[in-house]
A and B are shown apart, each in its own frame.
Chain A
Amino acid sequence: MGITTEQAVIPLHRRVKLDAVDKAVIAAVQGGLPLCERPYAAIAQKLGLDEHTVITRLQRLQAQGAIKRFGVVVRHHELGYRANAMVVFDVADERVAQLGRCIGKFEFVTLCYRRPRVLPEWPYNLFCMIHGKDRQAVLTHVQELIERCGLQAVPHAVLFSKRRFKQRGAVYGNVHTRQASGEI
Chain B
Amino acid sequence: MTPQLTEYTPLQRALLNNFQQGFPLSARPYAELAEKLGVSEQDVIDTLKGLQDSKTISRVGPVFRVGSIGVSTLAAIAVPPDRLEEVAAIVNEYEAVNHNYEREHAFNLWFVATATDEAELHDILQAIEQRTGLNVMVLPMLEDYHIDLGFELQWA
A and B together in one complex: yes
Q: Is A8's beta carbon under 8 Å from chain B?
A: yes
Judged by a CB distance under 8 angstroms, whether A72 is at the interface is: yes
- Number of B positions contacting A (CB below 8 A): 94
Does A46 lie at the interface of the complex (its beta carbon under 8 Å from any beta carbon of B)? no
- Assess whether A136 is interfacial by the CB under 8 Å rule: no
**Proximity string of chain B (60-71) to chain A, C-beta cutoff 8 Å, 1 when within and 0 when not:** 111111111111
Tell me whether chain B's interface is mostly helix, strand or loop, or mixed: mixed
Distance (Å) between the CB of B16 and the closest chain A CB? 6
With A78-B55, A97-B145, A161-B103 given, is the CB distance from A67 to B110 under 8 Å?
A: no
Chain A residues at the B interface, C-beta cutoff of 8 Å: 1-6, 8-16, 18, 26, 29-33, 35-41, 51, 55, 58-59, 61-62, 64-76, 78-80, 86, 96-97, 100-101, 103-105, 107, 109-116, 118, 121-122, 127-128, 131, 133, 157, 159-175, 177-184
Given the known A-B contacts A1-B135, A166-B98, are A115 and B140 also in contact in the complex, defined by CB atoms under 8 Å?
yes
Q: How far is the CA of A70 from the CA of B64 in the complex (A)?
A: 9
Q: Which residue of B lies closest to A75 (CB)?
A: B58
Min CB–CB distance B46 → chain A (angstroms):
8
Question: Is chain A's interface secondary structure helix, strand, loop, or mixed overall?
Answer: mixed
A169 to B56, CA, bound (A): 16
